[in-house]
Amino acid sequence: MTGNQLRAARSLLGWSQNQVAEAAQVSVPTVKRAEGSGALSASDGAKAAIRAVLENAGVEFIEANGGGPGVRLKKGILDE
């Protein structure tokens, strides 16, 4: 999971960094660091919490499989 994937996932959901931080029970600076916009990287535990929240909201993380890493919404999420 990359910082770009985290930013893209948040954007797909229309969530702010504040919303992600609250849902993952981490600080906003932690979300910023996880997205790569801070001097220090976020801890593995914080990244896992952020990823879990985004996945529970309907985001799928796509591994680099020749086309590069990415994100998408699970099928049917936009219909709900």
Identify whether 36 is part of a domain: yes
DSSP for 28-68? HHHHHHHTT-SSSPPPHHHHHHHHHHHHHTTEEEE--SSS-
The domain tally of the chain equals 1
Residue 33 lies in a domain: yes
CATH number of 61's domain? 1.10.260.40
Residue 80: pLDDT over 60: no
For residue 7, how many other CB atoms are within 10 A of its CB? 17
* Residue ranges making up the domain that contains 46: 3-73
Q: Which band of pLDDT confidence, cut at 50, 70 and 90, is reported for residue 2?
A: confident
User: What local confidence, expressed as pLDDT, does residue 65 receive?
Assistant: 80
Question: Is residue 15 assigned to a domain?
Answer: yes
pLDDT digits (tens, 9 = 90+) for 26-73: 999 999 999 986 555 888 899 999 999 999 999 999 988 878 889 999
Q: Determine, yes or no, domain membership for 14.
A: yes
Choose between 40 and 4: higher pLDDT: 4
Q: Is the pLDDT of residue 75 over 80?
A: no
